[in-house]
Amino acid sequence: MSALTKVCAVLVVLEFFYIFYLETLATDSERTSRVFGMSREELQRKSVSTLFKNQGVYNGLLAVLILVAVFAFDSKAAVAALMCYIVGVAAYGAVSSSPKILLMQGGLPILTLLSCLLT
């Protein structure tokens, strides 16, 4: 696996750990409110908080899987598969929620996928 692919993958990891932080540890913070365009009051609702925390754990575990694919297995195929999955989820979010999700959540994974395919 090329150094470029590893760097791109680690950037995806950092992004997903940041999302984990916002959704799981800082669920009703001002920053989370701004990032997701929701009021702090809405984020404090138990049902919303529970959903956010669940989604945050999902994003954190994706970051861990990417780290395992890059450093434990050194597998370009595993990294590419994970990036395809993330881009697919981002595409669904773009269609079902907001088009900007494709670039916000899928931008770095798309670059990482291209790096996997071209190097």
Over the stretch 59-109, which tens digit does the pLDDT of each residue have? 999 999 999 999 999 999 999 999 999 999 999 999 999 999 999 999 999
CB-count exposure of residue 20 (10 Å: 0-12, 13-18, 19+):
buried
Residue 119: which H helix or E strand, with range? Answer: none
Percentage of the chain modeled with pLDDT above 70: 100
* Phi, psi dihedral angles at 85 (to 5 degrees): -60, -50
The predicted structure's pLDDT at residue 78 = 98
pTM score, whole prediction: 0.94
Domain ranges of the chain: 3-118
